[in-house]
Amino acid sequence: MPKLNEAHYDDLSKIALLHKEVYPGTHFTSHLPDHVLQTYYSYFLSGSTVTFKAVDMLNGEPSLCGFLTCGTGIPEAIALFKQKQRLALLIAALRHPVAVIRKLGSATFYGTLDSPTQFKPAPYLILSIASNGRVKGIGKLLLEAAKNRAAILGYSRIGLYVHCHNLHAIKFYLRNQFLITGYTSGQFYLEAPTE
């Protein structure tokens, strides 16, 4: 069974590689250079956020097989990354104009479907979860770690956003006690109790 630990700065290159391996090309972050993706995840290694890593043995060597980023400071960390990395994001956008056009078109289309009904997201959020599928049950193990951390900190619920076209992820979350409780700009908002 894989071991779960908190990720550190020396894990960032492996996290970036796994992110690129499992995130689809439709996700803009999959077009970021490795060093920018490493910088992105570095914003979630301290303060009110944490990244858990799942490590198993592959050919006698420890190998990252999954990770999950969560915490209460997710929106602030994303905003800070975007502010500090504007130039890197602009360069990535210029190098991948089709991805940008897809993202803008998707945001425009899905924005027309937004409902005036507001929902209040949980303060403790999951930003990303990734598993290379080599070891069964990693996703569930990582979700449990996030729920446990949230519960220890006194939060009774945990939330996340997932693109509405990502049916595989939606089914996974629904099987793991999450319920769809909101929608915004092409993303469902799902929540689960922490206990």
Q: Which pTM was predicted? A: 0.89
User: What's residue 140's pLDDT?
Assistant: 94
Tens of pLDDT along 53-103?
999 988 889 999 999 999 999 999 999 999 999 999 899 888 888 877 877
Q: Closest by alpha carbon to 29, among 104, 89, 111, 95?
A: 89
The second-level CATH assignment, the architecture, of 3-193 is 3-Layer(aba) Sandwich (3.40)
Least confident of 40-44, 114-118, 177-181: 114-118
Q: For residues 158-171, give the mean pLDDT.
A: 93
Token output for 108: 């425009």
CA atoms within 13 A on the CB side of 62: 9
- Tokens 């992110």 — which residue? 19
Tens of pLDDT along 154-164?
999 999 999 88
Computed over every residue of the chain, the mean pLDDT equals 90
- Map out the domains of the chain as residue ranges: 3-193
Give the CA radius of gyration of the chain.
17
User: What's residue 117's pLDDT?
Assistant: 63
User: What's residue 7's pLDDT?
Assistant: 96
